């Protein structure tokens, strides 16, 4: 059957309140894991054609219900810090990136001395995720393999044997980039069911229900989407992208083809609009606000409404990284690596 180029991808968002956090990951082959590629991986359609299966010309809905940890209208990757019942857990960069908890006397301060913290898990990690009452992390002390443990540090379990990054626990699977080949994989919690989802090299990705949006480094860093079973691959942009975030009204991204300015585009590649002229990186969306590091202003932290109005500078510090946890923002100062700053968002 001939498919027309007028199909529309419908973005229907069902946003679930879950504990803030998200992704780490990558895994290598082991004898007990099925490493075959998805047999349903499809040829890429043009960017103006929505993704569809080969047996139907009906519209496919993109169900962005985000079973990954989310708060309101927010889509983020794994973070260097998270809160569990108000208790900050973080990767302490002054302590070999070991997973630490802040001491009680630190919690009431906006400028936090991270040397006053206790080791929770004696493993090094760059980012951690809290999902279904487990901490997930890439264990840099064990060649970047994926681990999980209870939030009190107990019941530590190794999930895979591969060097991993960009972990996303979701449902019964963990999605990640395998650093051995830079492809997106999924693996079951017990490590027995592993599947490569695409043949492209991937820089970053966002898991969104039935769909994964990813930065295709094989195709000059353009934005693509593929179903979470590896089928129905579709190219979304002709522009190269850098940072990206998903929201109910579309995909926000920094356009490398336009000096990293902020854009929004519909999931089917239509309705592209420039939001901001700042040079932007590290986008996080929370409710109606877009948070970002402004490279046009020596990496200060800013926020702006989704329509590009109410642009607001949040600090006068050079920000290395930041994370939104509930109503608070935690950020690292590039000029002082022994403190963590906490401000209201």
Q: Choose between 21 and 185: higher pLDDT.
A: 185
Q: Which pLDDT band holds residue 103 (cuts at 50, 70, 90)?
A: confident
**Domains: count for the chain:** 1
Tens digit of each residue's pLDDT (9 = 90 or more) over 115-141: 889 999 999 998 899 988 899 999 999
Listed range (57-61, 153-157, 220-224, 313-317) with the worst mean pLDDT: 57-61
Q: Give Cβ neighbours of residue 198 (< 8 Å, ≥ 6 apart).
A: 38, 41, 183, 184, 214, 226, 230, 233
The dihedral region occupied by 316, where left means phi > 0, alpha psi between -120 and 50, and beta the remainder, is alpha
Q: Choose between 50 and 250: higher pLDDT.
A: 250
Residue 3, in any domain of the structure: no
CA dist list (Å): 192 to 33, 225, 231, 286, 305: 5, 26, 21, 35, 44
Average pLDDT over residues 240-261: 91
Q: Which pLDDT band holds residue 29 (cuts at 50, 70, 90)?
A: very low
Q: Which pLDDT band holds residue 270 (cuts at 50, 70, 90)?
A: confident
Average pLDDT over residues 88-115: 88
pLDDT of 240 higher than 50: yes
Output the pLDDT for position 215: 95
Percent of the chain with pLDDT strictly greater than 90:
57
Burial class (CB in 10 A: 0-12, 13-18, 19+), 43: exposed
Q: Choose between 28 and 165: higher pLDDT.
A: 165
Task: Tell me the C-alpha distance between 183 and 300, whole Å.
Answer: 33
Output the pLDDT for position 37: 55
Tens digit of each residue's pLDDT (9 = 90 or more) over 167-196: 888 888 999 999 999 999 999 988 889 999
Q: Do 250 and 265 touch, CB atoms closer than 8 A?
A: yes
Residue 250 φ then ψ, to 5°: 145, -165
Residue 234, in any domain of the structure: yes
pLDDT of 10 higher than 60: no
- C-alpha angle with apex 192: 19 to 158, nearest 5 degrees? 55
Whole-number mean pLDDT of the chain? 80
Residue 88, in any domain of the structure: yes
Q: Choose between 250 and 109: higher pLDDT.
A: 250
Residue 126 φ then ψ, to 5°: -90, -25
**Residue that the structure tokens 């999902």 belong to:** 131
105: three-class secondary structure by DSSP: helix
74 is in which domain, residue-wise?
10-344
Task: Tell me the C-alpha distance between 33 and 39, whole Å.
Answer: 16
Residue 187, in any domain of the structure: yes
Residue 5, in any domain of the structure: no
Q: Return the closest-CA partner of residue 264 out of 282, 278, 288, 245.
A: 245
Residue 1, in any domain of the structure: no
Task: Tell me the C-alpha distance between 228 and 263, whole Å.
Answer: 25
Output the pLDDT for position 252: 95
Q: Where are the beta strands (DSSP E) in 197-311?
A: 202-208, 211-216, 222-227, 234-247, 250-255, 261-265, 273-276, 280-286, 289-294, 300-305
Alpha-carbon Rg for the chain in angstroms: 20
Helix then strand then coil, in percent of the chain rounded to 5, is 5, 50, 45
Task: Tell me the C-alpha distance between 269 and 5, whole Å.
Answer: 12
Output the pLDDT for position 38: 56
CA end-to-end span of the chain: 51
Average pLDDT over residues 153-176: 92
Q: What is the CATH number of the domain that holds 108?
A: 2.120.10.30
Residue 253, in any domain of the structure: yes
Residue 197, in any domain of the structure: yes
């Amino acid at each position: 059957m001939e498919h027309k180029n007028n199909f529309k991808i419908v973005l229907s968002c069902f946003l679930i309140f879950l504990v803030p956090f998200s992704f780490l990951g990558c895994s290598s082959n082991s004898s007990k894991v099925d490493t075959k590629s998805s047999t349903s991986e499809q040829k890429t359609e043009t960017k103006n054609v929505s993704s569809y299966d080969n047996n139907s010309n009906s519209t496919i809905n993109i169900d962005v219900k985000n079973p990954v940890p989310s708060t309101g209208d927010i889509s983020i990757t794994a973070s260097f810090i998270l809160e569990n019942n108000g208790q900050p857990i973080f990767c302490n960069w002054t302590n070999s990136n070991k997973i630490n908890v802040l001491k009680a006397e630190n919690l009431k301060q906006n400028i936090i001395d991270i040397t006053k913290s206790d080791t929770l898990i004696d493993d090094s990690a760059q980012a951690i995720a809290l999902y279904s009452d487990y901490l997930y992390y890439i264990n840099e002390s064990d060649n970047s393999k994926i681990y999980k443990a209870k939030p009190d540090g107990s019941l530590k379990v190794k999930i895979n044997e591969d060097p991993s990054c960009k972990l996303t626990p979701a449902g019964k699977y963990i999605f990640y980039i395998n650093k051995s080949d830079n492809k997106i994989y999924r693996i079951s919690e017990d490590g027995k069911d592993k599947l490569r989802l695409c043949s492209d090299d991937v820089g970053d990705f966002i898991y969104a229900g039935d769909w994964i949006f990813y930065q295709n480094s094989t195709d000059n860093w353009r934005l693509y989407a593929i179903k979470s079973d590896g089928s129905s691959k579709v190219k979304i942009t002709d522009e190269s992208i850098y940072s990206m975030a998903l929201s109910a009204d579309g995909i926000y991204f920094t356009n490398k083809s336009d000096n990293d300015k902020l854009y929004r585009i519909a999931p089917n590649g239509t309705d592209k609009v420039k939001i901001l002229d700042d040079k932007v990186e590290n986008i996080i969306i929370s409710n109606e606000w877009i948070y970002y590091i402004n490279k046009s202003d020596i990496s200060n932290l800013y926020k702006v409404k989704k329509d590009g109005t109410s642009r607001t500078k949040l600090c006068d510090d050079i920000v290395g990284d930041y994370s939104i946890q509930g109503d608070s923002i935690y950020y690292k100062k590039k000029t002082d690596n022994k403190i963590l700053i906490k401000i209201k968002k």
